[in-house]
Amino acid sequence: MFLSVEQTVSQTLPRSVIDCVDEITVTHLQNKTLYETIDTVKQIKEQNPNKNIVPHIAARNLHSKKELVDCCEQFKSLGVATVLVIGGNLRQGRFYQSAYQLCGTIKEHDLRRLCGVYPQKETYGDVQRKKYTSFSGGITQFCLSTKLLNQFHANTRIGVPSMCSLSNLLKYMQRCGVIASTKAAATNLSGIAYLNATGFDTAKFVSNIDNTAFHVYNFGKIEQTVAKLREQI
């Protein structure tokens, strides 16, 4: 099982998690500059110099091309080989409007590009035709429908929630808009089956997905989640 976890520039992951996973991705939130990600990459490398780190680059959160170029150069110097390129939560970009606008500059810096995959809006065929011609692969964004997730195979990593509480799960779903519409909410209803008295049963959820590469969204209890998933290898 390939396992990656997510952290923000404001978080510090436990050393046990850093050492246990294959990769760590660092989010690029709208209230943070991409420059701040550089310090986070350095901090992780100080704990484990060999750890693979994938910075997120959210197109609409960038303030200038200089910010993108400067950070790509720094990422390369720190041993980063891959970035996750997404649009970002802002409706109107500060400088860029689309993830595709970043591809040329990122390619010039010889960085491999991953993209976000949206199971509730895209089929695997859509992604293969429209995205994987520009990106090397992708990570699915929040989705609790194993039926939808199981259509994604080659080059796609499946994003799963950590063993968080119901309140934290609902809070994240609201923040990323997956319960904003009836249709989006309905596709996630099957996820109720994976909730128990202590929260979301990530290991049970993963056991019903036909894939061997997973990305854990850190909504809480990340240390317990990674330990439990490693038991399934």
Q: Which amino acid is at 67?
A: E
> What is the predicted pLDDT for the residue at 177?
57
* Mean pLDDT, the chain cut into blocks of 10 residues (233 residues total): 96 95 97 97 96 98 98 98 95 96 97 96 95 96 93 95 88 64 63 88 96 95 96 78
> What is the predicted pLDDT for the residue at 172?
72
Return the closest-CA partner of residue 78 out of 107, 117, 47, 52: 52
Element (H, E) at 155: none
Query: Which fold does the domain 2-230 belong to in CATH?
Result: TIM Barrel (3.20.20)
> What is the predicted pLDDT for the residue at 194?
92
Return the closest-CA partner of residue 145 out of 232, 60, 205: 205
Q: Give the integer Cα–Cα distance in Å for 4 and 229.
A: 11
Helical ranges in the chain per DSSP H = 15-20, 35-47, 65-77, 103-108, 124-130, 146-149, 166-175, 182-187, 202-207, 222-230
Domain limits of the chain?
2-230
> What is the predicted pLDDT for the residue at 188?
72
